[in-house]
Amino acid sequence: MMNVCFQCGMYHADKIIDPSGPFAVCPECGYKHPFRQSPLVIVSGASGTGKTTVCQYLLGKITQAVLLDSDILWRPEFNTPDINYRDFFETWLRVCKNISQSGQLVVLFGAGVGVPENIENRIERRYFSKIHYLALICSDEALFERLQQRPVWRGTRESAYIEESIRFNRWFKTYDSQPAIKLIDTTNTPLEETARQVASWVDESVRLSD
């Protein structure tokens, strides 16, 4: 547990980062904990654009990274829109940080994690050298059809859910700020080609971070 100081035993997520090591410096006693400050790769997009399908397809095919779907940790207690789901995002950054200490790159798939505002201001963001963002997008019509085809129990056929997904999909298309978000259109692209493009972008992101 990197957040527990190995010298004084105090817990701090907000350690001071000394890039010369890099070291995570305990604000209580000054102990310098050496750690790997790796990049984090995020693949995002609105519901229905293909995130989970691509993640499942690439499992075992991308061997230089650990691929994770952010939905696996979702629980009702994380449903806190009043604080912008802060604890959910901090938890995922902490998980990815600890996995990266083994020397493995983490590729995190999820909708909300792909919004820089949700990630860049989080306490645990400091433990990553850079975060690379990619979003899968598609046409409104394709998104509508995909959400309509899902099982009823998922609730994606509800008009409110579809409207919000389309809005989110359009947000990625019009995003024009920093950090940049790479876009891949999945409207008419076969799964194999979309997965190839995502894998190529992951490789490129790693090279740029070296």
Delimiting residues of CATH 3.40.50.300 domain(s) in the chain: 37-209
Q: Report pLDDT digits (tens) over 88-103.
A: 999 999 999 999 999 9
Is 15 within 8 Å of 27 (Cβ atoms)? Answer: yes
Mean pLDDT estimate for the chain: 95
Q: What is the mean pLDDT of residues 151-170?
A: 92
Residue 30 neighbours by CB under 8 Å, 6+ apart: none
Q: What integer pLDDT is reported at residue 163 of this predicted model?
A: 96
State percent of the chain over pLDDT 70: 99
**Binning pLDDT at 50, 70 and 90, where does residue 155 land?**
confident
Own/partner pairs for 70-76, CB < 8 Å, 24+ apart?
70/108, 70/109, 70/110, 70/111, 70/112, 70/113, 71/110
Q: What is the mean pLDDT of residues 24-50?
A: 97
Q: Is the pLDDT of residue 210 over 80?
A: no
State percent of the chain over pLDDT 90: 90
Fold of 37-209: Rossmann fold (3.40.50)
Question: Considering only 46-50, 129-133, 206-210, which range has the smallest mean pLDDT?
Answer: 206-210
Is 3 within 8 Å of 13 (Cβ atoms)? Answer: yes
Q: What integer pLDDT is reported at residue 209 of this predicted model?
A: 65
Q: Is the pLDDT of residue 53 over 80?
A: yes
Q: What integer pLDDT is reported at residue 151 of this predicted model?
A: 86
Q: What integer pLDDT is reported at residue 152 of this predicted model?
A: 83
User: Strands 131-137, 40-45: parallel, antiparallel or unpaired by DSSP?
Assistant: parallel
Higher pLDDT, 80 or 153: 80
